[in-house]
Amino acid sequence: MTPLRRALPSRLLSKLPPFEPWTPLARLSTTTGDGAPAATAGATPTASSAAPSYESSPPIDAGSSIRKPISLWPGMYFSPVTNALWEARSKIFEEAGDTGASENAASLESELVPRSPSRSRTSIFYKFSSDYVLREQYRNPWNEIRMGKLVEDLDALAGTICYKPFFLWDQHCSSDDGTTRPLLLVTASVDRMVLKRPIRIDTDLQIAGAVTWVGRSSMEIQLEVTQSTEETQNSLDSVALTANFTFVARDSRTGKSAPINRISPETEREKLLWQEAEKRNKMRKKKREERNLDTKIEDLSRLQDLLAEGRVFCDLPALADRDSILIRDTCFENSLICQPQQRNIHGRIFGGFLMRRAFELAFSTTYAFAGVAPRFVEVDHVDFLRPVDVGNFLRLKCCVLYTELDNPAEPLINVEVVAHVMQPELRSSEVEW
């Protein structure tokens, strides 16, 4: 095994700017109805909604015809799963537009009705064992699953669950003139995306998720990737990956927060998931408050030791530890102009695409640092500070922050990716996520 070096800081990292409200680009049509969109069944992969028997939901077909001109439909540029999910979501908006917003009264916070988390449950099925074309789209050079594309699908599924009619069908913001406007949901963060066991590319795969927690204007969706193999004995053993997505509701015109339906956990598991999500929400609030405060560094002595070693590298490179390296020497970056083909159905750059680019840059950085192909373990958090628009000049910077050698056979490498949107005409560069 190639010996792993430590990454040493040459200076302290500056704090990220606080979260700023997302400014929406376009309005959504008013949504009404009593069920999930129907589509022709039979192709793979498929997505279906787990709802009560009286609200059956036909599977979503990834190969269904596109109702808009192909050049104007953003789903054609992403995976068939993301395309299918966006088609289903788009149909919800179209049906809402046919009904008309004037038929819906404004929903006040006092009138919000609690919903059952189980009614939002939605799943996608990947037939990797029989669909060679689909398998090839998700295969990486090591004949394993391409995690970046799976992350794209996770974001698309979480967004579709947010727009489930059980939660937002009758929710609108009332304006000063008495009319109503629908809500816009945007991704705020992703917490604790954990790989519990390797995912095989030749075995069928399922992603399922549901709303687990709802605040006044935000909600959390937990997704589980499951894959049954000969080694798995029960449903818990088949869970290969878990992830938590947080979305916030905004007025589609003003961008201000708007109330949404609460959820009422019914089973013991739903109550446990709600409690865990509540703890994560409190932790996120605490971190946001600490961004503008001078927080105490817990392991100050360890940090001082690392900085001292870093100064030796800068001032006395010939005498520095050969098993260490400066953080700045581990950095890699990518730059791109955000294209129209990378937008979502609302006109912004698709968050799943941004996470895929960040994930693949982190993988490449780790590969170059370790000298062997790394194995993904977890994503601690992703924070979306501002939206990214078509035409933005995006610069992704990645570096190794820290290494853990407690287990020499499986050392851990912690990397960070920061995205900047640059405006050369204005001579500005801001952190976006």
Across 252-315, where does the E strand assignment appear? none
Name 195's bridge partners: 241
For 113-177, the DSSP string reads --B-GGGG-EEEEE-TTT-HHHHHHTB-TTSSB-HHHHHHHHHHHHHHHHT-HHHHTT-EEE-TT
Q: How many CA atoms lie within 13 A of 144 on its CB side?
A: 10
- Rounded to two decimals, what is the model's pTM? 0.76
Residue 108 class from Cβ within 10 Å (0-12 exposed, 13-18 middle, 19+ buried)? exposed
Decide if 22 contacts 255 (C-beta within 8 A).
Answer: yes
Determine the pLDDT at residue 301.
79
Determine the pLDDT at residue 300.
75
Determine the pLDDT at residue 58.
47
Report how far residue 96's alpha carbon sits from residue 238's, in angstroms, rounded to the nearest whole number: 38
Determine the pLDDT at residue 297.
64
Decide if 397 contacts 418 (C-beta within 8 A).
Answer: yes
Amino acid identity at 32: T
φ/ψ of 74, rounded to 5, equals -70, -25
Determine the pLDDT at residue 62.
42
Say what the alpha-carbon torsion angle 125, 131, 137, 138 is, to the nearest 10 degrees. Answer: 50
Domains of the chain: 6-18+296-431 (3.10.129.10), 46-291 (3.10.129.10)
The angle that helices 351-370 and 147-162 make with each other, rounded to 10 degrees, is 150
Q: State the Cα angle at 425 between 423 and 428, rounded to 5°.
A: 40
Determine the pLDDT at residue 181.
55
pLDDT tens, the chain, 433 aa long: 555 666 655 443 333 333 333 333 222 222 333 344 333 333 444 444 444 433 444 444 444 444 444 445 565 667 777 877 777 777 666 665 544 443 443 444 445 667 788 888 889 999 999 999 999 999 999 999 999 999 999 999 998 888 775 444 444 444 444 444 567 788 889 988 999 999 999 999 999 999 999 988 889 999 999 998 777 666 677 899 999 999 988 877 777 888 887 888 889 999 999 999 999 888 888 877 776 655 566 667 777 888 888 888 888 888 888 788 889 999 999 999 999 888 887 788 889 999 999 999 999 999 999 999 999 999 999 999 888 889 999 999 999 999 998 888 889 999 999 999 988 888 888 887 6
Determine the pLDDT at residue 71.
45
